[in-house]
Chains A and B, each alone.
Chain A
Amino acid sequence: MTPSADLAVVGAGPAGLAAAVTAADRGLRVVLLDAGERPGGQIHRHAAGQAHPPSLHGRRHFAPRARRLAAHRRAGRVTHLPAHHVWTVVPHDGADGAWALHAVAGPDEAPATVHARTVLLATGAYERHLPFPGWTLPGVVGAGGAQALLKSGLVLPGRRVVVAGSGPLLLAVAGSLAAAGARVPAVVEAADYTAYASGLPTLLRNPGKLAEAALHGGTLLRHAARLLTRHAVTAAHGTTRVEAVTVTRLDRDWRPVPGTSRRVPCDALAVGHGLVPQLELATGLGCATRRTPDDTPALVVDADQATTVPGVWAAGETGGVGGADLALTEGEIAADAIAHALRGTPRDPRRTAALTRRRARLRAFADTMAAAHRPGPGWTGWLDDTTEVCRCEEVTAGRVREAVADLGAHDARTVKLLTRAGMGWCQGRMCGQAVARLAGEPPAPDRRPLSCPVPLGHLAAPPTTDPTDRGARA
């Protein structure tokens, strides 16, 4: 049997896309799988029928890579499998590669298995949510989710949208909402941007980032949005839908300062507290993790983007949230390294040095930002005992606190066992971060042996064929 692929890339965001086309440039046979319909990942999400996302970044970075992808597909060097959600990667004992990737494919949920000699995990990140009273009201949406909806050419979450939480994404979201015609009465940021001051040297070495921030700022100013740092939305009000939010000042630890609350009317709230790397495929393989400066688990990778498991590489947000430019850079480094490891393809030392410098600069900046936006322990002061923490299983903060104080739970896993928090459909993606912090520990790396729901019929059927063996070109 011939090997089906030299490299399987999971995730077609900036990191995976850059890696796939670069690896194909170097002569590797690549399979690119993504849960989404179109390449681009989170940042380059775009509407069906659009050739590329309308943003500047999209024109400059996404469009040329998408063209290269198309050329490689036509030449048979890349097999692109969109709408393939990989639910596990396992070692595979066979002539056709060292790894088997099992996926649920397409709207009819067909089973698919891909074999490859190496794997690159570029599965990106998901949004961190911290609960507060009223966050389950209709009209309260994730900040990143609102952004994604806008980019897919869909609707605004409301006409008067408060943007809240923490992290640089908030400014981007507020800018997009304003540009799309919404009123943004306030951007409410829990951290203090002066915290960046200590990272000023890093900022100054990242002129691109400054320009970006200024751009967001400019859009915001034009639309008369107010940026409130060291403030949080500590409650949302309304009966059938959000009608107003309470905005409260925070101390350094994110504890609400008594007597500083005020109500801001709105008909939607876009809220998010930064991003969390999506790691379950990697932890399932045994890849080691580290903690980023905001206490979030991310993969340990070496100078070549190799994880601690031989044959498995990672790029982009999986190695720590750092934005699209870093993801692109890491994807290219990983592809060069994999081509070198498999084929001995020589690496251009000047290119490698330049990419490595760029990565170091962007990573340092990401670390500065992460430290500044790290959730302070005082956020739990927003919760009352009746606030729902786990929405799937309807578990309140009071029940989580009881499990911790009274029943001997010290970590998120035990809280989950005792209360069912995190056992529902989303498998703790929504509440895991909050539950861990309520249990008094920094969140542990994701463990989800099944990355997405899998029909039992798949599991029950005999092992399936490899779509790349059939020469399938999606």
Chain B
Amino acid sequence: MIVGAGVVGAACAYYAARAGLSVAVVDRGPVAGGTTGAGEGNLLVSDKEAGAELDLALLSTRLWRELAEALPPRDAIEYEPKGGLVVASDGTALTALRALAAGQRAAGVTAHEVAPGELARLEPGLAPGLAGGVHYPQDAQVQPARAAAALLRAARRMGAAVRLGEEVTAVLTGPDGTVRGVRTPRGDLRAPAVVNAAGTWGGHVAALAGTRLPVMPRRGFVLVTEPLPPGFVRHKVYAADYVADVASGSADLQSSAVVEGTPAGPVLIGATRERVGFDRTLSTEALHRLAARAVALFPALERVHAIRAYCGFRPYLPDHLPAIGPDPRVPGLHHACGHEGAGIGLAPATAVLVTAALTGAEPPVPAAPFRPDRFTP
């Protein structure tokens, strides 16, 4: 029984059904109605330091490539292996970027340094005067909502039951505390295993099961421009300071702008990161920073119009790693949430870990760093 039809829940449904398990997914809203619908769909290895999360990302990168072939029809998830380009504005940033890339290479990432004079060949619109950059051919892109919907549809075709518009109001447990299923306004749904894929609301679902998982919202704004001619921005381009933002624990507004073109023409600029609870009010400061950074990278954007802005709430845990796997405190409860700004990218690898735990198979990467009970109360 999977709670949540975001990209993570949908991926869990797909891999669990493929492994022959009997699967049901329940969500209080439509497919991708949570943070998945507000995400950008970057599948990045470039922004992660060597470590557990990068291993998960590398596995996911392979899995997304397979899924792009396996999920009908062609182009269902709008997979694009366009590659990333991280640029450094000065020597200090370049030094930090080189160090990051060296560690990533050791972990299996392909990363090519690009000399200042070569940047224009990869991205003709880039501002002059940058100190250099690193090209990451493994960085890719999917359309998050379509990816979640396609995974869920494929799971349904393998027999999974999908119940949308039904909120889980209780997690049922037996006398010994073992999970027995979930309760929704339409009745009790029995299952020996419940997967908490409730994203930013994962802490709430954990509480329903009588345990604690400190998932909190981290707001992000994205700016969308009017359609531009193809080739205006070719890769996922961002400044090296983004890497520092992602790992920061500060509540203040941080911004780095990943600038990228989309097949339909608009350029996406995102995203800010700040901890303000679930506040949807437009932050002109956030838009200002996104626009300023994007224009600094691509000066021609100055005269381009933003036609849309949106925000979403990333599910984050204090150490910026997701919670994946069985919860030893509540037998039968599994978690797959708290992926912060990387849940789209990490969804398939997460699902493979969860499925391995459910079937008793050997996990393809170590699951220990993602233990859900690692936070002391």
5 residue pairs, one from A and one from B, having the closest CB atoms: A459-B291, A408-B31, A417-B145, A453-B305, A457-B302
Give chain A's interface residues, CB within 8 Å of chain B: 88, 90-91, 100, 102, 284-286, 393, 403, 406-411, 413-414, 417-418, 420, 423-425, 427, 448-450, 453-460, 463
Please report the C-alpha to C-alpha distance between residue A425 and residue B150 in the assembled complex, in whole angstroms.
Answer: 27
Q: What are the residues of chain B within 8 A of A90 when measuring CB–CB?
A: 281-282, 284
CB distance from A397 to the nearest CB of B (A): 18
Q: Is B88 an interface residue (CB 8 A)?
A: no
Contact B295 A456 (CB under 8 A): yes
Q: What are the residues of chain B within 8 A of A454 when measuring CB–CB?
A: 305-306
B22-35 contact mask (Cβ, 8 Å, vs A): 1 or 0: 00000001111100
Which of A406, A460, A463 is the one whose CB lies under 8 Å from B153? A406
15 of the cross-chain contacts (CB-CB < 8 Å) are: A88-B284, A284-B282, A407-B150, A408-B152, A413-B37, A414-B31, A414-B145, A417-B146, A420-B264, A425-B226, A449-B308, A449-B310, A453-B307, A456-B304, A460-B295
Please report the C-alpha to C-alpha distance between residue A91 and residue B5 in the assembled complex, in whole angstroms.
Answer: 35
Q: What are the residues of chain B within 8 A of A418 when measuring CB–CB?
A: 32, 145-146, 149
Q: Is B164 an interface residue (CB 8 A)?
A: yes
Contact B308 A411 (CB under 8 A): no
Contact A450 B33 (CB under 8 A): no
Contact A449 B309 (CB under 8 A): yes
Number of interface residues of B (CB under 8 A): 44
Please report the C-alpha to C-alpha distance between residue A386 and residue B217 in the assembled complex, in whole angstroms.
Answer: 41
Please judge, given known A-B contacts A408-B152, A425-B226, A457-B295, whether A417 and B32 are in contact too, CB under 8 Å: yes
Please judge, given known A-B contacts A393-B264, A414-B32, A450-B307, whether A456 and B284 are in contact too, CB under 8 Å: no
CB distance from A232 to the nearest CB of B (A): 30
Which of B145, B264, B303 is the one whose CB lies under 8 Å from A457? B303
Q: Of residues 260 to 288 in B, which have CB atoms within 8 Å of A's CB atoms?
A: 264, 266, 281-282, 284, 287-288
* Complex: chain B residue closest to A285, CB-CB: B281
* Complex: chain B residue closest to A102, CB-CB: B284
Please report the C-alpha to C-alpha distance between residue A411 and residue B282 in the assembled complex, in whole angstroms.
Answer: 23
Q: Is B290 an interface residue (CB 8 A)?
A: yes
Please judge, given known A-B contacts A425-B307, A457-B302, whether A407 and B282 are in contact too, CB under 8 Å: no
Q: What are the residues of chain A within 8 A of B226 when measuring CB–CB?
A: 425, 453
Contact B33 A413 (CB under 8 A): yes
Please judge, given known A-B contacts A393-B264, A455-B302, whether A449 and B282 are in contact too, CB under 8 Å: yes
Q: What are the residues of chain B within 8 A of A91 when measuring CB–CB?
A: 281
Q: Is B165 an interface residue (CB 8 A)?
A: yes
CB distance from B78 to the nearest CB of A (A): 10
Please report the C-alpha to C-alpha distance between residue A456 and residue B294 in the assembled complex, in whole angstroms.
Answer: 9
Please report the C-alpha to C-alpha distance between residue A88 and residue B281 in the assembled complex, in whole angstroms.
Answer: 11
Q: What are the residues of chain A within 8 A of B294 when measuring CB–CB?
A: 456, 460
Q: What are the residues of chain B within 8 A of A449 when measuring CB–CB?
A: 282, 308-311
Q: What are the residues of chain B within 8 A of A453 when measuring CB–CB?
A: 226, 305-307
Which of A100, A406, A410, A423 is the one whose CB lies under 8 Å from B164? A410
